[in-house]
């Protein structure tokens, strides 16, 4: 448990009572996630299972605000999952990344869905049990490591949410710090984050491979997107690389993360035509590693 004067961090192992009731639509965390998450079959099937295993519960985090005069309040919630990454093991772990950076490209193109299913299925295999489900996506079907029972060597963030009224208080940084600490304490060598850039939805017609290298101060407000932003990915000011334009990417990079690749099939969402018309979204995910 991590403690500040006002906020306390617990895991699902130490405080299982804090786990949000996702079936209760009035629960404040239920309204945070985009509606299209409801159509992701992988998310529906696997995410709740991170509470079923001791080795996974310690990677699920809660921040509670505690006061002597008021009831405790759950203000932030984050989930992550350990997984075995064979390509990382093949180069000798994290130390091998400096000479073999191409290994980062071996992270699955299926992003969130594939990492989530891999982590849970591998955990299940370590219990000596058969697979929980057939692959939900083509990328999961290609993931030959999802049935491995090897000891995990990496940690992936899955989600992080802070209630709106408690944002800008450093709680997201606290959660990411907890993930990094948990990875170190359990011998996991790398933390990866398949994340949704929060402002990408404002620029649906911009390729995410270009968007994720937009830099702060060189956003579209200064002129036509293409001419202004082309070639900015290596921009340096005062000897330091510019931080990303996107706030959520910027947060991770400022904490030591590095943008690695695009996972264009990170979430496979199913629904009828009206479902997608109502959502009106074009969404991609970028990987970072820390």
Q: What is the DSSP string of 67-122?
A: ETTEEEEEEEEEEEEEE--HHHHHTTSGGGGTT-GGGGGGS-TTHHHHHHHHHHHH
Contact 72, 66 (CB under 8 A): yes
For the ranges 72-76, 175-179, 212-216, 238-242, the lowest mean pLDDT is seen at 238-242
pLDDT, mean of residues 24-44: 76
**pTM as predicted:** 0.85
Statement to judge: residues 133 and 215 lie in one domain = no
pLDDT of residue 69: 85
DSSP E strand stretches across 143-257:
154-162, 190-195, 236-237, 240-241
pLDDT, mean of residues 98-123: 95
Residue 32 in tokens: 């945070």
pLDDT > 90 in the chain, percent: 49
Statement to judge: residues 112 and 219 lie in one domain = no
pLDDT of residue 276: 58
How many CA atoms, within 13 angstroms, populate the side-chain half-sphere of residue 205?
A: 3
How sure is the predictor about 229, in pLDDT bands with cuts at 50, 70 and 90?
very low
Statement to judge: residues 118 and 228 lie in one domain = no
Contact 222, 211 (CB under 8 A): no
Statement to judge: residues 69 and 81 lie in one domain = yes
Give 167-213 pLDDT, tens digit per residue: 889 999 999 999 999 999 999 999 999 988 888 888 888 888 888 88
Statement to judge: residues 220 and 265 lie in one domain = no
How many domains does one find in the chain? 2
CATH of the domain at 277: 3.40.630.30
Statement to judge: residues 27 and 167 lie in one domain = yes
Q: Please state, in angstroms and rounded to a whole number, the distance separating the CA atoms of residues 92 and 100.
A: 10
Statement to judge: residues 252 and 131 lie in one domain = yes
For the ranges 28-32, 40-44, 219-223, the lowest mean pLDDT is seen at 219-223
**Domain extent at residue 66:** 2-198+247-289
Statement to judge: residues 208 and 64 lie in one domain = no
* Residue 221 predicted with pLDDT over 50: no
Q: 10 Å Cβ neighbour count for 238?
A: 5
pLDDT of residue 240: 60
CB proximity list for 110: less than 8 A, separation 6 or greater: 137, 139, 140, 143, 263, 265, 266, 268
Residue 29 in tokens: 């965390």
27 or 252: whose pLDDT is higher? 252
Cα–Cα separations (whole angstroms), residue 143 to 110, 132, 153, 198, 211: 9, 15, 17, 28, 28
pLDDT of residue 18: 87
Last residue of a domain, one of 209, 226, 245: 245
Statement to judge: residues 134 and 266 lie in one domain = yes
Nearest partner of 160 among 75, 223, 227, judged by Cα: 75
Statement to judge: residues 208 and 118 lie in one domain = no
Contact 33, 280 (CB under 8 A): no
């Amino acid at each position: 448990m991590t403690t500040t004067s006002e906020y306390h961090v617990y895991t699902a192992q130490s405080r299982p009572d804090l786990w949000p009731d996702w079936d209760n639509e009035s629960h404040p965390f239920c309204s945070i996630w985009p509606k299209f998450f409801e159509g992701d079959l992988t998310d529906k099937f696997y995410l709740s299972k991170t509470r079923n295993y001791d080795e996974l519960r310690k990677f699920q985090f809660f921040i509670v605000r505690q006061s002597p005069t008021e009831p405790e309040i759950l203000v932030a919630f984050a989930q992550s999952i350990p997984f075995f990454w064979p390509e990382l093991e093949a180069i000798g772990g994290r130390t091998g990344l400096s000479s073999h950076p191409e290994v980062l490209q071996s992270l699955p193109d299926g992003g969130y869905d594939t990492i989530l299913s891999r982590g849970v299925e591998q955990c299940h295999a370590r219990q000596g049990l058969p697979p929980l489900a057939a692959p939900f996506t083509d990328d999961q079907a290609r993931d030959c490591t999802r049935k491995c029972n090897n000891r995990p060597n990496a940690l992936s963030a899955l989600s992080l949410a802070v209630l709106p009224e408690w944002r800008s208080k450093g709680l997201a940084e606290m959660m990411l710090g907890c993930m990094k600490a948990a990875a170190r304490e359990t011998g996991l060598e790398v933390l990866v984050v398949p994340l949704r850039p929060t402002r990408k939805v404002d620029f649906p017609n911009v390729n995410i491979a270009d968007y994720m290298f937009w830099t702060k101060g060189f956003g579209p407000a200064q002129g036509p997107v293409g001419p202004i932003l082309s070639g900015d990915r290596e921009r340096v000011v005062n000897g330091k690389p510019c931080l990303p334009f996107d706030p959520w990417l910027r947060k991770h990079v400022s904490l030591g993360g590095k943008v690695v690749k695009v996972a264009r099939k990170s979430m496979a969402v199913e629904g009828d035509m009206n479902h997608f018309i109502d959502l009106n979204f074009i969404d991609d995910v970028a990987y970072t590693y820390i």
